[in-house]
Structure 1
Amino acid sequence: MKTLIWDEAANHKAKIACLGQFDGFHLGHLKLINCLMEIKAKQDLAAVFFTMSQSVSDFLNQTNTKLLDNHSKQEIAAKLGFDYYLAVPVTREFMNLSAQQFLTILKERFNVIKIVIGSDFRFGKNREGDFNQIITFFGKENVYLIPRQDNFFSSTTIRNLLLNHDLPAANKLLYEDYHLCGEVKKGNQLGRTINFPTANIYLPQKVILPYGVYITETCVAGNLYQSMTSYRLFEGQEVVETYLLDVNLDLYGQEIVVYFKKYLRKNIKITDLTELVALLKQDLADTLAFFANKA
């Protein structure tokens, strides 16, 4: 899969594109993508995955409500068989494009001739564009509309499930379980002194997942390990601290992916190490029981 740049033309092959935020690749998104792939195969077109680097609301509010980071989104798009990946950086300039300007760029700069969209997709300055404008621009025979049947398969539904600690239900709606990833950095290494060493990754800002302790699985170099994880704000930093069960690895400097399976409890401020060890041992027992039942 090749990456396209919004400001650079790539019009050498006729393309079919899906348009949307595609946050989380929920089941509604996959229905749209399956439609695109069927058309691509029948008509010998290149498939373009169009998305935005972040939602407009996150850009304006300086928040991060993504269900999926941009790197993971690109990896999934490649797995699904797209030929091109086009993620537009959200800027004031991009937000001020009219709907007509946006569609003209897709057609003239990237040679997009067919579009697959959801019925609720909006684009252009002040969200002025909708599927009717796309049909007018590209022609009815070149636009494939996927209706939104209900709100169950929606990113908003999944966010609400996460906020209410219902990870099993949220994960059922996602292409991959909710996860966070990053490079392992050194922390204060307190865990090592009590036989609970953690791999720590630091996030640039708060994510949608509530703070707390979770049962997780952690992917390291393609291998999946059972784990338990605390996500919290510590000394002004968003930190994900993961303890891998029954394995001792040197993970500093490595990229890891932490898949969240079940919420265990809220973070508790503890100053006594004895109390902390007792609490972690209970977390460990609950985590082991979860994986034993899963097996």
Structure 2
Amino acid sequence: MEFTRGLFNLPAGHGGCALTIGNFDGLHRGHQALIAGARRRADQLRLPLLALCFEPTPREYFEPERAPPRIATLRTKLADFSRYGVDRVVIQRFDMGFARQSPEEFIAEVLLRQLKVRALVVGEDFSFGRRREGKLQHLLAAGQQHGFAVEGVPSVLVSGERCSSTAVRAALAQPDLPRAAELLGRPYRLLGKVVRGLQLGRTLDMPTANINLRRRPALRLGVYAVRARLDGETQARLGVASIGVRPTLGIARCLLETHLFDSPGDIYGRHLDVEFAHFLRPEERFESLDALKAQMHRDKADALAFLSAAPDNAGLVQP
């Protein structure tokens, strides 16, 4: 899969596409229905499937203080796009110039000139252009006029509830991991590059693989039993992870710290895919590092007990 930042960076020889558009936060089962519909169109036309999304999201741009937390990191989103059959992802910067486009300008400039769209698949409630004035009927009319197919996909219901990023965030905030997995069609996970941290875990006999999170996640902060895979691995490893701001140390930046039970060695710079299996406890502040160390080892024991008893551990790398 190819990744492009900005429509202006599309290859000069770009020759048309089947397209789907959205924020795609979490790539839940509703998003997957859009991608599946666009994938069918792409195969029929023998064209690449392109997904267009925006950074920041329109809500983050216009109402940053009210914007919801992100379900997925960008790296997680890109991995999921590849998994579901997208050929190219374009992340377009959303700014005032882009926001001011009328629906007609968006169709003429973005869809026709830059993307050379031949088929477009969006949700039935899709809105676009200045003040969200553009609706599905505008796209259907433009498709008839300019010769590209347009398909509106209805909402996907999961156990009677509309599958949406809002519903996934609500499940993760509790956290109700089984419900989140039902909406996502897979267990909830985060993917990122392992970076050097304070290396405090080593002194506490709990070395961790650290992933910086640019934004506070939708998942409730706390400690989890996890299954994790390093890039290139097919087998999962058992572990325990803390996602939060480390209140004991007075650090505000959000971090995902994962202790893998089988000690994989030096993994700095590698990508780690962390799947959240079970919530153990909320984040809390400890009065001393000794108290933190004791709790971390209790967390490890609790995570190992849960994961060892879980029914879906075939093929895991055991400690």
TM-score, with structure 1 as normaliser: 0.89
CA distance in 2, matches of 1:185, 1:117: 37
Cα 1:120–1:184 change in 2 (3 A) is same
Aligned to 1:71: 75
1:11 Cα deviation after fit: 6.6
One-letter code of the match for 2:181? N
Aligned to 2:139: 134
Note the alpha carbon deviations across 1:211-238, whole angstroms, 9 max, x for none.
2111112222333321111112142321
The alignment-based identity, stated in percent, is: 29
Equivalent position to 1:107, from 106, 112, 120: 112
Equivalent position to 2:230, from 220, 229, 237: 220
Aligned to 2:302: 286
Note the alpha carbon deviations across 1:75-133, whole angstroms, 9 max, x for none.
33233333332221111211111111111121122210221111111111111111011
Equivalent position to 1:202, from 170, 195, 212: 212
Note the alpha carbon deviations across 1:149-200, whole angstroms, 9 max, x for none.
5443111000000011112221232255333333333333332223212222
Note the alpha carbon deviations across 1:32-68, whole angstroms, 9 max, x for none.
2222222222232332212223321123306562222
Aligned to 2:278: 262
Aligned to 2:170: 160
CA distance in 2, matches of 1:131, 1:107: 16
1:148 Cα deviation after fit: 1.7
Query: Would the aligned equivalents of 1:20 and 1:50 in 2 still touch at CA under 8 Å?
Result: yes
Equivalent position to 1:182, from 188, 192, 197: 192
One-letter code of the match for 2:115? F
Query: Would the aligned equivalents of 1:64 and 1:205 in 2 still touch at CA under 8 Å?
Result: no
Cα 1:135–1:69 change in 2 (3 A) is same
Aligned residues, how many?
A: 295
Equivalent position to 2:46, from 23, 44, 47: 44
Query: Would the aligned equivalents of 1:185 and 1:201 in 2 still touch at CA under 8 Å?
Result: yes
One-letter code of the match for 1:58? E
One-letter code of the match for 2:241? T
Which blocks of at least 5 consecutive residues in structure 2 are unaligned? 312-319
Q: For 1:29-40, what aligned pairs fall within 5 Å after superposition?
A: 29-40=31-42
Query: After alignment, is 170-179 or 29-38 more displaced?
Result: 170-179
1:274 Cα deviation after fit: 4.4
CA distance in 2, matches of 1:278, 1:236: 23
SS in 2 for 1:139: helix
One-letter code of the match for 1:148? S
CA distance in 1, matches of 2:197, 2:270: 14
SS in 2 for 1:51: strand
1:282 Cα deviation after fit: 2.5
Cα 1:18–1:192 change in 2 (3 A) is same
SS in 1 for 2:257: strand
TM-score, with structure 2 as normaliser: 0.83
Query: After alignment, is 6-15 or 46-55 more displaced?
Result: 6-15
Equivalent position to 2:84, from 74, 80, 96: 80
Cα 1:102–1:231 change in 2 (3 A) is same
Aligned to 1:118: 123
Query: After alignment, is 63-72 or 102-111 more displaced?
Result: 63-72
Aligned to 1:91: 95
1:134 Cα deviation after fit: 0.5
Cα 1:249–1:31 change in 2 (3 A) is same
Query: After alignment, is 113-122 or 84-93 more displaced?
Result: 84-93
Query: After alignment, is 31-40 or 176-185 more displaced?
Result: 176-185
CA distance in 2, matches of 1:32, 1:248: 38
Cα RMSD between the aligned structures?
Answer: 2.4
Aligned to 1:243: 259
Aligned to 1:145: 152
One-letter code of the match for 1:184? V
Query: After alignment, is 203-212 or 25-34 more displaced?
Result: 203-212
